[in-house]
Structure 1
Amino acid sequence: MAQGAASDPTAFASSAAIAAQVAAMDRAMKPGQGFAWQPVVRDGNRVAALEIWKHPGRPAVHPAEAEYATVIDGEGTLVSGGTLENASTTRPDLVEGDRIVGGTRRPLRRGDVMLIPAGVPHGFEISGRRLVLLGTKLPTR
């Protein structure tokens, strides 16, 4: 079988394309907007996406999905584990809370990688201007 674009379903984004996408997302964020999400590559319903955090969001749990992410810019802190306080189901795939009690704090810098298992509370604090992640959800089923 011949090799080439027609026989290769691989989704790909160059580092230049990702840098341009981050810059465009950053420009499009409104003053005071704390979070932006945008897909980079897709394969059906599987997606790798960019997340820009300028302010911490509500800590969350994804009951049936692990979350894998790499820090591509900025700095912050990952808070994970512990217990999600005042948890409420926002969507079938998302439970959010007010804060994490008893979680582990890990500093995040460019190049750091995280794999948060399904069902584990997690949230991000931001150091400086922003924290940029490239990540995907991994279904457990």
Structure 2
Amino acid sequence: MARARTMGILLLLAVSSGSAAAYAQTGAAQAPDPSGFASGADVQRQVVQMLGEMKADQGFMWRPLVRDGATVAAIEIWRKPGRPALHPAEAEYAIVLEGSGTLVSGGTMADPKASKPNLVEGSRIEGGNSRTLGPGDVILIPAGVPHFFDITGDRLVLLGIKLPGAK
């Protein structure tokens, strides 16, 4: 009886091993995962690498983290305030990863000038709303809305995504 049980266990292991090998072979033929993915460790590694590459007087750095064609989720590191900006055809979605700052959005942009195909920059925002930013905060700025990030600590780190604006 013990010998029959041992033979049964060996047979089960042999069949299981064959199934695993067959699964591994068919799994390799499956289409790749269409979603982009970056682990928390990947995000932290990229932030540390970017901070190490930034020059002492550099106020901003942007680098893609994951992408799907034109759609990009990128790490943005702000050490100095940028210029007030708006994106006519794209909404901006961001999550604060580190640091602190202030978001000024809405109102009217003074002295607007197109600096890139989907970027208009100005000298200041008149009549905007101010919000204090910290880790975990979520931001959604609709297409065409002026906005400006002020930095209140040594840096503000965002995970930012541009999305097509509503039609």
Fold match by TM threshold 0.5? yes
Number of residue-to-residue matches in the alignment: 141
For normalisation by structure 1, the TM-score amounts to 0.95
Match of 1:84 among 105, 109, 119: 109
1:98 paired residue number: 123
- Percent identity of the aligned residues? 60
Match of 2:68 among 28, 43, 46: 43
2:88 paired residue number: 63
Provide closer, same or farther for how the CA distance between residues 3 and 71 of structure 1 changes in structure 2, counting only shifts above 3 A: farther
Give distance in 2, aligned partners of 1:133 and 1:5.
Answer: 34
Provide closer, same or farther for how the CA distance between residues 5 and 126 of structure 1 changes in structure 2, counting only shifts above 3 A: farther
Give the C-alpha shift of residue 127 in structure 1: 1.1
Amino acid across the alignment from 1:136: I
Give distance in 2, aligned partners of 1:2 and 1:56.
Answer: 48
Structure ranking higher in helix proportion = 2
1:128 paired residue number: 153
For normalisation by structure 2, the TM-score amounts to 0.80
Q: Does 1:53 align with 2:78?
A: yes
Give the C-alpha shift of residue 91 in structure 1: 1.0
Q: Does 1:13 align with 2:38?
A: yes
Give distance in 1, aligned partners of 2:36 and 2:149.
Answer: 28
| Cα shift readout 1:55-84 (whole Å, capped 9, x = no counterpart) | 001010100000000000000000000111
RMSD over equivalenced CA pairs, Å: 1.7
Amino acid across the alignment from 1:9: P
Give distance in 1, aligned partners of 2:152 and 2:117.
Answer: 31
For the pair shown, the structure with the greater C-alpha radius of gyration is: 2
Provide closer, same or farther for how the CA distance between residues 5 and 136 of structure 1 changes in structure 2, counting only shifts above 3 A: farther
The aligned runs of 1:16-31 (5 Å cut-off) are 16-31=41-56
Identify the structure with bigger relative contact order (alpha carbons < 8 Å, sequence gap 6+). 1
Which consecutive segments of 4 or more residues in structure 1 shift more than 6 A?
1-5
Q: Does 1:111 align with 2:143?
A: no
Structure ranking higher in strand proportion = 1
